[in-house]
Amino acid sequence: MAHPAQVGFQDAASPLMEELLYFHDHALLILTLVSVFVLYIIIAMLSTKLYDSYTLDAQMIEIVWTALPAFILIMIALPSLRILYLMDEIDDPLLTVKAMGHQWYWSYEYTDFEDLQFDSYMIPTQDLLPGHFRLLEADHRMVVPTQTPIRLLISAEDVLHSWAVPSLGVKMDAVPGRLNQASLAIARPGVYYGQCSEICGANHSFMPIVVEAVPLKHFESWSYNMLQDT
């Protein structure tokens, strides 16, 4: 969960988000080194009379300023491609959840069960309980087991939406008529909040996403009770 005056990312709750944080730090380090080097060159140029023919026509300098940017791009591209493949990789998911975006709420369907589905609406401010977060709490949470590979199917019924939970490293567009998928594996129990990240209309800011991760035995009890209620 984010906190006031936070500068960095939220704490990672999934292996994928941990990889994204490592890549962010890696790219930020390269960016810092490049910025310092460019600043040094600018200061050196302003404080030196560059009339020497060796400086103006040096073949080695031309090779360096051509090869160095290419090397930097490779250092950024390789780990980036690795993470992209990890995001698309879904190995033997034990649970499949379908998230549908509507104007303006989410509906969830657990396709491994015969009749386990529900709508998730934002709780109005006047109905919030102590400990609830304004504009982020939903009446029905998406409950999933921890340390379990999950396939998340995402689509929309009306307009473009986007299912995004920063702590889990998931952000996938919900497109009408198209079924997108994302992988989800939550490392520890907790409640993780997100919001629709696509400007989908007047109530775009009032369709939160709440994911509650629980141990497998608690998920089995929850799913059994949900099926009994239906």
Question: Rounded to an integer, what distance in angstroms lies between the CA atom of residue 99 and that of residue 156?
Answer: 8
* Rounded to 5°, angle at Cα 210 from 209 and 216: 135
Question: Rounded to an integer, what distance in angstroms lies between the CA atom of residue 72 and that of residue 49?
Answer: 29
pLDDT of the residue at 152: 94
DSSP string, 120-177: E-BPPGGGPPTTPPTTT-BSS-EEEESS--EEEEEEESSS-EEEEEGGGTEEEEE-BT
Can you tell me which residue has the tokens 């939220």? 10
Cα dihedral sign, 110-11-198-127: positive
**Digitized pLDDT (tens) for each residue of the chain, 230 residues in all:** 667 777 788 888 998 999 999 999 999 999 999 999 889 888 877 776 655 555 555 677 778 888 988 999 999 999 999 988 888 877 788 999 999 999 999 999 999 998 899 999 999 999 998 988 999 999 999 999 999 999 999 999 999 999 999 999 999 999 999 999 999 999 999 999 999 999 998 999 999 999 999 999 999 999 999 888 76
What's this model's pTM, rounded to 2 decimal places? 0.84
pLDDT of the residue at 50: 57
